[in-house]
């Protein structure tokens, strides 16, 4: 399947917004140091489609928190592919949140909110917790990721963590620690077969009801929020 065919399949009648996002990544994200220049030729397969194909893992009208969003991956492709979702992009660095807010405005993504902060900060948890799902892409080792994700999830909420080829090894190594934090039922799945050259590997987990033990927040400076 060609890139254009895959993009149309994943993003449907919003494929023009995916194209617009590609242009932002290829230009502003590179010049601002958010995407490496060598990644520019691979933006569709390696980044945009690679993230967009996880859309099938979310239920209707979910509220999704994307932690460590960086240049908007996977949150922005997910929000383009699934306009029914309400997506919160959480990112601590000002230059990245500035970029994200500009992209959200330019593409008219009214289902996206940009938050400057760390996932483990009490203020972020208080305002954006109890999410149906928490997603991420290559943010941290699985045990630390579970510690950041669990407090943001409602009981029985879902973790959708994009990982690489060692995903199963991470699950085997960190399953007990993640269970102690409050995330069970860890499984590895793949999506995107026939749409992307290399399927996207995802670790799924569920948060148990009751209390979780979050990873302590690191001190930081000011926090700004931008939403539409």
Q: What is the pLDDT of residue 220?
A: 35
Residue 220 belongs to some domain of the structure = no
Please give the structure tokens belonging to residue 30.
């590179």
Q: Is residue 86 part of a domain?
A: yes
Percent of the chain with pLDDT over 90: 85
- Residue 206: predicted pLDDT: 96
Does position 72 have pLDDT exceeding 80, yes or no?
yes
The two three-digit tokens of residue 218, written as one number: 């690191």
Binding-site residues for S-adenosyl-L-methionine = 68, 73, 119-120, 137
Summarised one tens digit per residue, pLDDT across range 101-143 is 999 999 999 999 999 999 999 999 999 999 999 999 988 999 9
Q: Kindly state whether residue 223 falls inside one of the protein's structural domains.
A: no
- The predicted-structure confidence for 74-91, as pLDDT tens digits, reads as follows 999 999 999 999 999 999
Domain that holds residue 92: 3-213
Closest CA to 85 of 105, 65, 111: 111
* Residue 228 belongs to some domain of the structure: no
The pTM (predicted TM-score) of the whole model is 0.89
Domain count, the chain: 1
Binding-site positions read 68, 73, 119-120, 137
Q: Does the structure show a pLDDT above 50 at 217?
A: no
pLDDT tens digits, 180-210: 999 999 999 999 999 999 999 999 999 987 5
Q: Establish if 149 belongs to a structural domain.
A: yes
Kindly report the CATH number assigned to the domain that includes residue 157.
3.40.50.150
The reported pLDDT for the residue numbered 227 is 37
């Amino acid at each position: 399947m060609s890139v254009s065919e895959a993009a149309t399949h994943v993003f449907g009648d919003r494929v023009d917004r995916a194209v617009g996002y590609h242009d932002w990544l290829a230009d502003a994200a590179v010049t601002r140091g958010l995407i490496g220049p060598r990644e520019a030729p691979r933006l569709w397969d390696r980044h945009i489609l690679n993230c967009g194909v996880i859309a099938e893992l979310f239920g209707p009208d979910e509220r999704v928190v994307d932690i460590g969003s960086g240049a908007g991956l996977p949150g922005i492709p997910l929000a383009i592919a699934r306009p029914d979702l309400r997506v919160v992009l959480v990112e601590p660095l000002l230059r990245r949140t500035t970029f994200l807010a500009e992209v959200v405005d330019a593409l008219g993504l009214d289902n996206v909110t940009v938050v400057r902060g760390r996932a483990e900060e009490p203020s972020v948890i208080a305002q954006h917790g109890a999410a149906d799902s928490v997603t991420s892409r290559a943010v941290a080792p699985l045990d630390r990721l579970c510690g950041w994700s669990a407090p943001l999830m409602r009981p029985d909420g879902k973790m959708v963590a994009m990982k690489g080829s060692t995903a199963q090894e991470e699950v085997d190594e960190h399953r007990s620690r993640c269970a102690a934090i409050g995330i069970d039922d860890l499984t590895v799945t793949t999506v995107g077969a026939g749409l992307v050259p290399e399927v996207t590997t995802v670790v799924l987990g569920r948060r148990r009801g009751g209390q979780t033990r979050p990873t302590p927040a690191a001190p930081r400076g000011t926090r700004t929020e931008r939403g539409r």
